[in-house]
């Protein structure tokens, strides 16, 4: 790659990530896979090692402050999902980092960038930002991705707990097991909404709409729990 092309690559990458490096050598190192480096020391392996720890620490600190009611087990579950290789690869895809990776010809010939490489480059980038801009800058960058993901994981856990909770309440109060019925669906195939109601021993609870059947079931369970407790319906279907 010529110096001009590298300069253009780095400018485009910095625009994509929303951070401009004072030391471009750090960005270059973060983007360089072992296959595209002159030596292992010139690749992003060392940065990846540091970035993994930075990502974990920022996640733990956010969890500790944002979810004061979570015990150690709850925080561990959320952290494991948020800092997983799969999630880091997703963050990398959101930034389009695969387009900026410096790799050897053999990797280029394979086509799509493997997910483990995408995860590595995100972690490496986190470390490079830490070294170049300091802790506060790195924390802000990581939080941009981690906080929304953390909320998704936490909300999913809460919703799934709602179905488990309804099952326990249904067995205790009604002597039966909840079942979920599809009452209606609307919209085109690529953008459907589903209306589902929970039922226990022929008692139908307030239905709920969802963008997927799973989401509609979870909301229906929360509606049922609210109805049993005499609380307002959280997801009215009308």
Residue positions annotated with a catalytic role: 52, 123
From the CA atom positions of the chain, what is the Rg in Å?
23
Instruction: Give the span between the Cα atoms of 227 and 238, in whole angstroms.
Output: 16
Instruction: Give the span between the Cα atoms of 44 and 30, in whole angstroms.
Output: 5
**What angle is formed at CA 73 by the lines to CA 80 and CA 217, rounded to 5 degrees?**
75
Instruction: Give the span between the Cα atoms of 155 and 151, in whole angstroms.
Output: 6
Do strands 179-186 and 208-210 pair parallel, antiparallel, or not at all (unpaired)? unpaired
| 34 close to 48: Cβ distance less than 8 angstroms | no
């Amino acid at each position: 790659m010529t110096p001009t092309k590298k300069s253009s690559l780095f400018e485009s990458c910095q625009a994509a990530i929303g951070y401009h490096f004072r030391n471009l050598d750090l960005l270059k190192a973060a983007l360089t896979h072992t296959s595209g480096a002159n030596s292992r020391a010139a690749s992003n392996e060392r940065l990846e090692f540091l970035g993994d720890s930075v990502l974990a620490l920022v996640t733990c600190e956010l969890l500790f402050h944002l979810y004061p009611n979570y015990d150690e087990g709850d925080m561990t579950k959320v952290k494991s999902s948020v800092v997983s290789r799969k999630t880091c690869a997703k963050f990398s895809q959101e930034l389009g980092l695969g387009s900026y990776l410096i790799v050897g010809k053999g990797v280029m010939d394979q086509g799509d960038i493997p997910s483990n490489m995408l995860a590595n480059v995100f972690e490496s980038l986190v470390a490079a930002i830490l070294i170049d801009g300091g802790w506060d800058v790195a924390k802000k960058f990581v939080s941009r991705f981690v906080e929304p993901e953390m909320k998704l994981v936490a909300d999913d856990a809460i919703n799934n707990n709602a179905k488990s909770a309804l099952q326990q309440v249904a067995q205790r109060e009604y002597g039966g097991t909840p079942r979920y019925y599809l009452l209606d669906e609307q919209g085109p195939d690529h953008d459907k909404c589903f209306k589902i109601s929970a039922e226990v021993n022929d008692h139908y609870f307030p239905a709920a709409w969802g963008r997927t059947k799973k989401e509609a079931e979870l909301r229906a369970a929360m509606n049922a729990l609210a109805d049993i407790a005499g609380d307002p319906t959280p997801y009215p279907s009308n």
